[in-house]
Structure 1
Amino acid sequence: MSSELPHLSTPRLLLRALETHQAETLSRLANGPKIADNTANIPSPYTLETAHTFIDNMVAKYRAGDLLSLGMHVVETGELVGIVSLRLNARHRYGHLGGWVAAHCRNQGYGAEAARAVMDFGFAELGLQRVGSQCFGRNKESARVMEKIGLRFEGCMREAFLKNGVFEDLLGFAVVREDWERPS
């Protein structure tokens, strides 16, 4: 694995590391509606300090083999519209997809486009055997993204996650290398 974060391209997005000057934009977008509410690990409020820490640690976490996180940038404008990530488990050759799209850019296919590119990178370049993800049962948009990129629904873990004082169901989705190599 290269020690530098990859630059991945899709028809409409450039997925690349964030730069320090983007911290304010990241903080503003991550504080948008539903971001912290629909994710497991994004704090609310998402402070400027949190944004700087995230940006400063992107390369180190990738070099350690723990996490690939990339900013979603619109090719035509360069605008940052979200984050896509792949949490890595080298021992099990597993990647866990995550991410979010800014409120004003939802329902345009950016999340699926970015997730597909990162998933493909995980299989083709990182040698993963399995890529999966989870979302809260109430998050139909994320479930739709996972199915759109070819992850199969594997089940519901009832009340498996405590979020803001409420036990949430977690829906699990995944694809294994064999399925990825011969898509349906």
Structure 2
Amino acid sequence: MSDPNFFFESERLRFSYWLPTDEHCEFLVKLWNEPLFIAGEGNTGIDTVEKARTRIVERFIPDHERNGYGQYLVSLKDSGKKIGGASLTLLKDSAISLPDVGFAILTEETGKGYGPEAGRAVIEWVMRERGVEGVFGFCSPKNARSRRTMEKAGLEFRGIHKLLQFGPDVNGCCYATPGLKDPAEYNVGISK
């Protein structure tokens, strides 16, 4: 699933596969080491081109092959400038039966509505093209930016819960696509 010609688009954005090229790997290192990203997601340890290449080859590509969706590089449709990433994550051994949506936009490009647009686009795409019933979104209760972005992307707030799939003591906000049943019915692994 590393077809360099694959893409889908929204009004202003283009979504493509992350490829194990130096250009993509350098951008992944830049994106995942921005203070805004680290504040929301934590330090991933992806701080060299080789570590980024390993992540793409060993995680991103297999996720696409297994699920038919995964991590996407986000670029501006008109200029081709790389501005972020969007993801639909369903881990190999996950008990959760629907993907978790995520998005990261370069700090210099925030405040322009790209995060919500990216979220809406990947959600609509995976439901239309892959027949997925819906998605979840998770974030820290303290991450007001992510919470607003999830809501602007069309997800409904389903409460703050212990998110057992992230660890025994992890409390987080749970969001879901409108129309999904109680998150516990999808094995989200929540407890109040």
TM interval, shorter chain, is 0.7 to 0.9
Aligned residue identity for 1:136: S
SS at match of 1:134: strand
The change in CA–CA distance for 1:9 and 1:66 in structure 2 (over 3 A counts) is: closer
Gapped runs of 5+ residues in structure 2? 182-192
Give 1:11's aligned residue: 11
Sort the Cα spacing of 1:74 and 1:151 in 2 relative to 1 into closer, same or farther, 3 A: same
| TM superposition score normalised by structure 2 | 0.77
Question: Percent identity at matched positions?
Answer: 25
**2:32 alignment partner in structure 1:** 30
**Higher mean displacement: 54-63 or 78-87:** 54-63
Q: Distance in 2 between matches of 1:31 and 1:25?
A: 10
Structure 1 CA distance for aligned equivalents of residues 117 and 135 of structure 2: 15
Q: Which amino acid aligns with 2:67?
A: G
Deviation at 1:76, TM superposition (A): 2.0
CA distance in 1, matches of 2:96, 2:31: 33
- Matched residue pairs, number? 173
- Larger % of strand: which? 1
Cα distance in 2 for partners of 1:53, 1:28 equals 16
CA distance in 2, matches of 1:4, 1:68: 14
How many angstroms does 1:67 deviate by? 5.0
The amino acid that maps onto 1:15 is F
The counterpart of 1:60, out of the listed 54, 62, 85, is: 62
Q: Deviations over 1:26-59 (max 9, x none)?
A: 212221112122116x514633222112333433
Report matched runs for 1:38-49 at 5 Å: 38-39=40-41, 43-44=44-45, 46-49=47-50
1:107 has 2:107 as partner: no
- Could you tell me which amino acid in structure 2 is paired with residue 118 of structure 1? V
Out of 78, 81, 89, which is 1:79 matched to?
Answer: 81
Indicate the larger mover: 167-176 or 132-141: 167-176
Unaligned runs of 5+ in 1: 180-184
Instruction: Describe the shift of the 1:92–1:27 C-alpha distance in structure 2 as closer, same or farther (beyond 3 A).
Output: closer
Give the letter for the 2:50 counterpart.
E
TM-score by length of 1: 0.80
d(CA) in 1 for partners of 2:61 and 2:153? Answer: 26
CA gap of 1:153–1:178, structure 2 versus 1, over 3 A, is: closer
- Give SS of 2:148's match: helix
- Decide whether the 8 Å contact of 2:68 with 2:130 is kept in 1: no
